[in-house]
Structure 1
Amino acid sequence: MRNRFQYSALVVAAAVAVGASISSCSTEPPDNGAIVATTRVWADVASAVAGGDVDAIIAGDAVDPHHFEPTAKDIARIKGAGTVVANGGAYDAALYTAAEQDRVIFAIPPIDAKEAHEHGEHDHEHDELEHAWFSPEKIRQVADAVAAKTGGDAAAVDERVSEAEAKLAALPHMRIGMTEPIAAGLVQDTQLHDITPEEYAKASLNHQEPSAAAVAAFLEQLENGEVDMLFVNPQSTNSATQRLADAAREHNVPVVEIRETPPAGQNFLDYFEQIVDQIADIAAHAEPSGHHDH
């Protein structure tokens, strides 16, 4: 599997080059009132705070942001916005590195083009929360920052996220597995204990194919009834993740699908609440023994 971080580094370099060529021939000042988000997820959060529609550069639900290649028009839109709402990290670096950094609101710390180029492997600690939009804390931080910058109101977003967070905090102790760490922010500070085999988790974090031994260890956990819930990303599947999902269903282990981007036409905050409710429903009907084969 292609290392997405290395891919991002190439895209960042290309984006910076495109941005440089645009800035050299464009004299239009940024529109201080315009808000643009790098992805639909953060556009939905910003829109709920600022009011009105907020455009997203990566808008299609079929597009994997890791592999998004910005056009000159995309870079121009980023440069022309008064406020850019971005995820941060390597995820959407190809876009936010083109903006004046004091105009960008980040969910997680940014990287610069030089850093992206020099580091071919992910910083594990940093990138476990690459999917920052599934972290209630990060959603609130971004909403509050958008409110401060635009004069909007983050109260409604804060309330919705806090209610979801309360549901997560009330969950009983359960053992979970993840085919990739998309739910890391969601399960942080909860009683959902991630027991994904370490070797598998490390490969997944670096967007590499896990070894046969790592997959076998994960399958064994599912077959032995050690896992109470499996999280999968249906937008990022391979033969290994498909085998794991199939094994979970075969052994009556509930599978929670968490997409990289919300389904077409669905607001992210609605989607976030839907996932939390699904997890809470699974927990409410879980067998106390933790075994699923009976």
Structure 2
Amino acid sequence: MRNRFHFRPITLTAALALAGASVAACSSTSDGNDPSGAADIVATTNVWADVASAVTGKDVEAIITGDAVDPHHFEPSAKDLARIRDAGTVVANGGAYDASLYTVAEQDRIVHAIPLLDAEEAHDHEHDHEHDHGDHLPDSLDELEHAWFSPEKVREVADGVAEKAGGDAGGVDTRMRDAEAKLKSLPHVHVAMTEPIAGGLIWGTELHDITPEDYLKASLNHQEPSAAAVAAFLEQLENGEVDMLFVNPQSTNSATQRLADAAREHNVPVVEIRETPPAGQNFLDYFEQIVDQIADIAAHAEPSGHHDH
């Protein structure tokens, strides 16, 4: 599986250089206490821009836009970094996902879903991809890279935007609480993932992830799964042990394609979950659409022949 967390050293070096060279020039105009600066808000991705727009009531700019761009591999330009550095408020995912952007901003200006890395940590992450999760979900939502698929994390970011940049997070909070309630009301069914993109959606629910351990470990560590791991995954699909398969259509390879094809061949519903919404679709609408699809499949699943682990 291709490495989806590849931050090139030159990108972070350029970011540090730009940030350092600009401190003196911008210190008088980018004061976080300046009302005009605080009103200026930018997001790293269009997902978080949509959340911030819903809170502030204005169109929030995103640096990474379009559904064809893989944020993991995005290399910001000097203009992109300057825009982040000069913003009064930056809305970011956190972790390694968009670290090539937010690491040039002062941390107290950043509203983020999961803990931030500094530039050195983000650089180190490029060389250290090992994860050791004893279960199919990490111990904390703070460890979920795809944090925007967690209703709780979306609420946290919305509340943070309202606090720092003004606006009303009530509408986002209500929509996320409704989605969360719907997910938590679902019956016990088995799911599997070609990559752990849906972790936030199934957190705290009866949706039980039975992705084979060896396959999951390879996915978490951004490595190609072994033939044995793929075979074990295929066997689950063929034996009817999986009620729905989560697939990211923006991140495919020969293994994920084989798994998706096998699922469809054996009438296992496939839920496509994209890193970024389709062009022209608001993230909050897309989120609710996915939740409704999962709920519909789970409600009609026949959990016979399951073998809990």
TM-score, with structure 1 as normaliser: 0.93
Which ranges of structure 2 fall in alignment gaps of 5 or more residues? Answer: 31-36, 132-137
Whole-angstrom CA distance in 2 between matches of 1:21 and 1:224: 60
The Cα shift of 1:6 comes to 4.3
The Cα shift of 1:123 comes to 6.0
Whole-angstrom CA distance in 2 between matches of 1:3 and 1:49: 34
The Cα shift of 1:121 comes to 2.6
1:36 aligns with 2:51: no
Residue by residue over 1:4-30, the C-alpha shift from the partner in whole angstroms, topping out at 9 and shown as x without a partner, is: 334366533332234334546666723
1:268 aligns with 2:274: no
Number of aligned residue pairs: give it. Answer: 291
Q: Where does residue 263 of structure 2 map in the other structure?
A: 248
The Cα shift of 1:68 comes to 0.3
Q: Which moved more, 1:39-48 or 1:22-31?
A: 22-31
Aligned ranges 1:91-106 → 2 under 5 Å: 91-106=97-112
Whole-angstrom CA distance in 2 between matches of 1:64 and 1:137: 24
Aligned ranges 1:122-141 → 2 under 5 Å: 122=129, 124=131, 125=138, 129-141=144-156
User: Which SS does the other structure have where 1:7 is aligned?
Assistant: coil
Residue by residue over 1:119-158, the C-alpha shift from the partner in whole angstroms, topping out at 9 and shown as x without a partner, is: 4233634785100000011000001111111221111100
The Cα shift of 1:112 comes to 1.1
1:201 aligns with 2:216: yes
1:70 aligns with 2:108: no
User: Which SS does the other structure have where 1:4 is aligned?
Assistant: coil
Q: Where does residue 17 of structure 1 map in the other structure?
A: 17
1:225 aligns with 2:240: yes
Which ranges of structure 1 fall in alignment gaps of 5 or more residues? Answer: none
Whole-angstrom CA distance in 1 between matches of 2:71 and 2:6: 14
Q: Determine if contact 2:215/2:225 at 8 Å carries over to the other structure.
A: yes
Which residue identity does 1:121 align to in structure 2? D
Cα 1:102–1:123 change in 2 (3 A) is farther
The Cα shift of 1:205 comes to 1.0
Which residue identity does 1:136 align to in structure 2? P
Q: Determine if contact 1:227/1:290 at 8 Å carries over to the other structure.
A: no
Q: Where does residue 151 of structure 1 map in the other structure?
A: 166
User: Which SS does the other structure have where 2:38 is aligned?
Assistant: strand
Q: Where does residue 33 of structure 2 map in the other structure?
A: none
Which residue identity does 2:241 align to in structure 1? E
User: Which SS does the other structure have where 1:5 is aligned?
Assistant: coil
Query: Could you say what the CA RMSD is over the residues aligned between the two structures, in angstroms?
Result: 1.9
1:121 aligns with 2:136: no
The Cα shift of 1:41 comes to 0.5
The Cα shift of 1:113 comes to 1.4
TM-score, with structure 2 as normaliser: 0.89
Whole-angstrom CA distance in 1 between matches of 2:13 and 2:194: 30
Cα 1:290–1:39 change in 2 (3 A) is farther
Cα 1:288–1:116 change in 2 (3 A) is closer
1:215 aligns with 2:230: yes
Whole-angstrom CA distance in 2 between matches of 1:115 and 1:288: 43
Cα 1:26–1:175 change in 2 (3 A) is same
Q: Where does residue 90 of structure 1 map in the other structure?
A: 96
Whole-angstrom CA distance in 2 between matches of 1:245 and 1:29: 52
Whole-angstrom CA distance in 2 between matches of 1:267 and 1:146: 18
Q: Determine if contact 1:8/1:93 at 8 Å carries over to the other structure.
A: no
Whole-angstrom CA distance in 2 between matches of 1:200 and 1:270: 31
Q: Determine if contact 2:26/2:86 at 8 Å carries over to the other structure.
A: no
Q: Determine if contact 1:13/1:117 at 8 Å carries over to the other structure.
A: no
Whole-angstrom CA distance in 1 between matches of 2:155 and 2:301: 30
Q: Determine if contact 1:229/1:255 at 8 Å carries over to the other structure.
A: yes
Cα 1:123–1:83 change in 2 (3 A) is farther
Which residue identity does 1:122 align to in structure 2? H
1:49 aligns with 2:55: yes
Cα 1:29–1:74 change in 2 (3 A) is same
Which residue identity does 1:17 align to in structure 2? A
Cα 1:243–1:206 change in 2 (3 A) is same
Q: Where does residue 135 of structure 2 map in the other structure?
A: none
Cα 1:230–1:252 change in 2 (3 A) is same
